[in-house]
Amino acid sequence: MKFASEFRDPALAKGLLAEIARLADQIGATAEKPVHIMEICGGHTHSIFRYGLDKLIHPGIEFIHGPGCPVCVLPRARVDECIEIAGRPEVIFCTFGDAMRVPGSKLSLMQAKAAGADIRMVYSPLDALELARRNPGREVVFFGLGFETTTPSTALAIQQAAREGLANFSVFCNHITVPEPIRALLDDPYMRLDGFIGPGHVSMVIGIHPYDFIAEDYGKPLVVAGFEPTDLLQSVLMVLRQISQGRAAIENQYARVVPEHGNRVSLAAIADVYERRPSFEWRGLGEIDASGLRIRAAYRAHDAEEKFGVGYAGQRAAVEEAEGCACGAVMTGRMKPVACAQFGKGCTPEMPLGALMVSSEGACAAYWQYGGARAAE
């Protein structure tokens, strides 16, 4: 398969693994004192387990799973607010399928749909825009969810709605940014991180320079990586080379996709439609300054928070995690999924306790999908 099989070449992978082992030995990495490398993106976590890289790599390299799954980092209160909006009789609530089974404090969106709410899965905010055109008597709300990867498409949909005067189209904005939670993790004195594998799809939009502070302020290397097995192995090797040379820099392994300065058209759309929130709540990390986006006043007619008085525009209720759920600890790298007492017992893909078991980028889902019952044991 062109542009895929080349990055799954066993001979190339063996060579990279051998060079990683050589460097790991050189810097004294062992299973007892490993080099801790955080893969920020949940897509990378799934690739690591899909291809068994955690088993093939030198025992002195430990992957730490980061908060790079937008569905997973969403606190339960935001799911409750989605259900509150969707429960209004005039509303058609649209969402990506990934969010349908994420539990709120009482229901998931899937359960709310079964109870009668008009909730529809869509593939793009443009699908929701089309529903607004076809249903002028209904309020169509799109669940704007994701990191910088999905933010531009929502921004473009809002711009189009404004041009067409579609007052019945709005977005419940939960778009968040990657760099700020990484700073929060680095400021945590209990976190032991030696380097990072940076998210490829996010960086396709924002470029590589928003991560400069990681090297400049904290002295840690970060390598933006692709998603194939040799992409990840090469990225680990690049991190180890920096460590062995006593330097810290932001490097781009995924240069075939990620431009240094990002996508200027996407960045312009984001800047036009959104502004930074003072803070935003993250599961497991709490409120993080300037880590979320909200819709600018110029597009307020399409802001579901303002229209329905929910979320940060209304009275927000504190919602605790479900009893026994360790999603926050897993997502911030403090715990492996199999260390959670509920993994594979009180929390399975069929009956999830937390978001990490149902999201396509969740660490618990990766362990379960590629390890299954063996992982639970």
The annotation places the binding site for Fe cation at 41, 69, 72
- Counting every residue written for the chain, the total comes to 377
Contact present, 65 and 331 (Cβ < 8 Å): yes
Q: Is 25 left (phi over 0), alpha (psi -120 to 50) or beta?
A: alpha
Listing DSSP states for 198-225 in one string gives E-HHHHHHH-SGGGHHHHHHH---EEE-
Task: Give the N- to C-terminal CA distance of the chain in Å, as an integer.
Answer: 36
What's the one-letter identity of residue 359? S
CA 82 to chain centre: 19
What's the one-letter identity of residue 360? S
CA 290 to chain centre: 17
Q: CA of 55: how far to CAs of 33, 47, 233, 246, 251, in Å?
A: 17, 13, 12, 27, 25
CA 169 to chain centre: 25
Q: What Rg do the C-alpha atoms of the chain give, in angstroms?
A: 21
The span from the CA of 320 to the CA of 354, in Å, is: 12
The SS3 of residue 176 is: strand
Residue numbers belonging to the annotated binding site: 41, 69, 72
Q: Cβ atoms within 10 A of the Cβ of 153, count?
A: 16
Listing DSSP states for 270-313 in one string gives HHHHEEE-SEEEETTTEEEET-BEEE-GGGGGGBHHHHHT-GGG
Stretch (H or E) spanning 170: strand 169-175
Contacts of 158 (CB under 8 A, 6+ apart): 171, 273, 295, 299, 302
Q: Cβ atoms within 10 A of the Cβ of 314, count?
A: 13
